[in-house]
């Protein structure tokens, strides 16, 4: 990534949404069935990405701060509590310590995470804790993570999350529809989810680690976009394999194809297992090369992560002090 691009990353970011949503389109089965994916070519291209065009110094710090604004700061654990969610929200409001921001000359910028992502049970808590911050709450609804509760229960959960104040809903698709090639069923399901969300933006979690082939990933991506997904997201974080670069290439190319078909811009959210600052720089490079600079923004790019923020803060502290601190000095996020 050229250094000139880095300087554009330092603008303050107001959390918010792409005003023009993806309206979807009728299911085009011919287009879906025509989609192919070449695993070995995709893997070769993915393997060439890490470390390429590495950015250093101030440019790297600027990109890491930009990455912070793209994080959906997440807690999705069986032992979540109101207290944990409130601490996470406090971190989302002030994701990087003031002394580090001041030393980077960024003390006057209002930097927050892109969203806070929680189970439905904690939406009201997070909405309350984030009051006045403009940071949206994202709820994982529809029987997350397996998505095997009845369809009407999923719709009721979405409606309840929206009622509690969630502005974003991360839904999980029924993997069986993909594994059996039942694209009309996937389309109808996604259409219903989108309708139940109303004005809340909907991210379609494909659970790519369950989908067996990159061709399935590409086809499922396309079907969910045709049905009106605002974002497509890789994983719940609970599958055996979560976000990977080959899956990312496959999904962002589907986003590109959908844009060529309809003109609509759909966002991308890798999630699960992304915990290192350097990995985020690779994702940025990939997004820029495949989709262009427009996608390097929280309106179109989010990273679902529970522990990435701690590593980013640590790297930024190293930039400022020249020394690495222990991870336990960056306890949340």
Ligand X SMILES: O=C[C@H](O)COP(=O)(O)O
Instruction: Name the helix (H) or strand (E) containing 98.
Output: helix 98-103
Residue 72: strand pairing partners: 115, 304
Spatial contact of 283 and 270, defined as CB atoms under 8 Å apart:
yes
Spatial contact of 245 and 276, defined as CB atoms under 8 Å apart:
no
* CA gap 159, 169 in Å, rounded: 10
- If binding is defined by CB under 6 A, does position 237 make contact with ligand X? yes
233 among known catalytic residues = yes
Spatial contact of 70 and 114, defined as CB atoms under 8 Å apart:
yes
**Backbone phi, psi, residue 308, to 5°:** -60, -40
**Residue of 233, 265, 288, 311 with catalytic role:** 233
Closest distance to ligand X from the beta carbon of 117 (Å) = 6
269 among known catalytic residues = yes
Site string for ligand X, 30-69 (x = CB under 6 A): ----------------------------------------
For ligand X, the closer of residues 182 and 307 by Cβ is: 307
- If binding is defined by CB under 6 A, does position 182 make contact with ligand X? no
- If binding is defined by CB under 6 A, does position 126 make contact with ligand X? no
Among 273, 280, 296, 311, which residue sits at the site for ligand X (rule: CB under 6 A)?
A: 273
Residues 292-321 within binding reach of ligand X (CB under 6 A): 304-307
Closest distance to ligand X from the beta carbon of 138 (Å) = 9
Helix then strand count (H, E) for the chain reads 14, 8
Maximum distance among all Cα pairs of the chain, rounded to whole angstroms: 57
230 among known catalytic residues = no
Among 272, 286, 291, 330, which residue sits at the site for ligand X (rule: CB under 6 A)?
A: 272
Residues in the interface with ligand X (CB under 6 A) total 12
**Residue of 170, 192, 297, 311 with catalytic role:** 170
* CA gap 140, 119 in Å, rounded: 5
What 3-state DSSP class applies to 170? strand
From the list 158-166, 244-252, 268-276, 282-290, the region that binds ligand X by CB under 6 A is: 268-276
CB closest to ligand X, residue no = 237
Neighbours of 40 (CB within 10 A): 8
Q: CB burial class (10 A; 0-12, 13-18, 19+) of residue 326?
A: exposed
Closest distance to ligand X from the beta carbon of 243 (Å) = 8
Summarize as ranges the residues that interact with ligand X (CB under 6 A): 74, 76, 117, 236-237, 271-273, 304-307
Q: Which residues are catalytic?
A: 170, 233, 269
């Amino acid at each position: 990534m050229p250094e000139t691009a880095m300087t554009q990353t330092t603008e303050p970011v107001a959390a918010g949404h792409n005003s023009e949503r993806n309206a979807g389109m009728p299911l085009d089965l011919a287009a879906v069935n025509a989609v192919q994916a070449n695993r070995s070519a995709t893997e070769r291209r993915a393997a060439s990405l890490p470390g390429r065009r590495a950015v250093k110094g101030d440019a790297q710090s600027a990109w890491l701060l930009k990455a912070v604004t793209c994080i959906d700061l997440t807690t999705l654990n069986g032992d979540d509590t109101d207290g944990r969610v409130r601490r996470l929200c406090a971190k989302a409001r002030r994701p990087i310590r003031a002394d580090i921001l001041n030393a980077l000359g960024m003390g006057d910028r209002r930097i927050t995470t892109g969203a806070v992502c929680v189970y439905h049970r904690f939406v009201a808590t997070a909405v309350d804790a984030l009051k006045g911050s403009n940071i949206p709450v994202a709820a994982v609804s529809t029987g997350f993570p397996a998505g095997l509760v009845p369809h009407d229960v999923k719709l009721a959960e979405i409606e309840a999350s929206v009622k509690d104040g969630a502005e974003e809903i991360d839904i999980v698709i029924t993997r069986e529809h993909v594994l059996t090639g039942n694209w009309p069923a996937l389309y109808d399901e996604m259409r219903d989810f989108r309708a139940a969300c109303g004005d809340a933006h909907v991210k379609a979690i494909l659970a790519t680690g369950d989908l067996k082939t990159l061709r399935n990933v590409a086809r499922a991506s396309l079907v969910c976009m045709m049905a009106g997904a605002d974002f497509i997201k890789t994983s719940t974080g609970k599958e055996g394999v979560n976000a990977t670069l080959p899956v990312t290439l496959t999904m962002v190319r589907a986003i590109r194809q959908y844009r060529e078909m309809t003109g609509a811009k759909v966002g991308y959210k890798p999630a699960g297992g992304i915990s290192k600052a350097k990995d985020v720089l690779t994702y940025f490079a990939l997004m820029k090369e495949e989709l262009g600079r427009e996608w390097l923004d929280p309106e179109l790019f989010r990273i679902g992560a529970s522990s990435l923020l701690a590593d980013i803060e640590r790297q930024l502290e190293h930039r400022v002090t020249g020394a690495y601190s222990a991870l336990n000095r960056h306890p949340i996020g």
